């Protein structure tokens, strides 16, 4: 069990560029979540996958954001035409089991700075 890993850990990009983050969940975890966290705030839910199916998306996930989990394993979060307001830490998490309250395990996050 190597934990949830995220790549890259830090990304600085110019406004208008596209960025992609990758998340590798704990192996055999069937659920994967993306959260966004800004300074001084708690994580905000973005989206959630069960296996390869994206089951829920937050209103925070504008049409510039897209997340995929093509084979039910790793996931990518792409932000197109980045804006300064996208600067945040993007957290990935995973969980297993069927109960809704099963523990979710977080990665260390990917910091995005849009300049």
Question: CB of residue 24 vs another protein: minimum separation in angstroms?
Answer: 13
C-alpha 41/C-alpha 56 separation (Å) is 22
Closer Cβ to another protein, 50 or 66, answer by number: 50
Closer Cβ to another protein, 80 or 87, answer by number: 87
Q: Where do contacts with another protein occur on this chain (CB under 8 A)?
A: 4, 31, 33, 35, 40-45, 48, 50, 55-56, 91, 93, 95, 99-101, 103-109, 111
Closer Cβ to another protein, 82 or 110, answer by number: 110
C-alpha 115/C-alpha 112 separation (Å) is 10
Q: Are 75 and 91 in contact (CB under 8 A)?
A: no
Question: CB of residue 42 vs another protein: minimum separation in angstroms?
Answer: 3
Q: Kindly tell me the sign of the dihedral angle through the C-alpha atoms of 57, 77, 24, 28.
A: positive
């Amino acid at each position: 069990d190597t934990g949830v890993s995220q790549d890259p850990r830090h990304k600085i990009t110019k406004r208008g560029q596209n960025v992609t983050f990758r998340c590798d969940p704990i192996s055999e975890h069937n659920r994967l979540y993306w959260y966004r966290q800004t300074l001084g705030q708690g994580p905000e839910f973005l989206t959630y996958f069960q296996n390869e199916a994206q089951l829920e998306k937050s209103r925070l996930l504008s049409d510039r954001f897209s997340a995929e989990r093509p084979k039910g394993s790793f996931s990518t979060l792409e932000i197109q035409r980045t804006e300064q307001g996208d600067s945040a830490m993007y957290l990935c998490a995973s969980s297993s089991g069927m109960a809704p309250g099963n523990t979710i395990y977080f990665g260390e996050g990917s910091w995005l700075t849009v300049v």
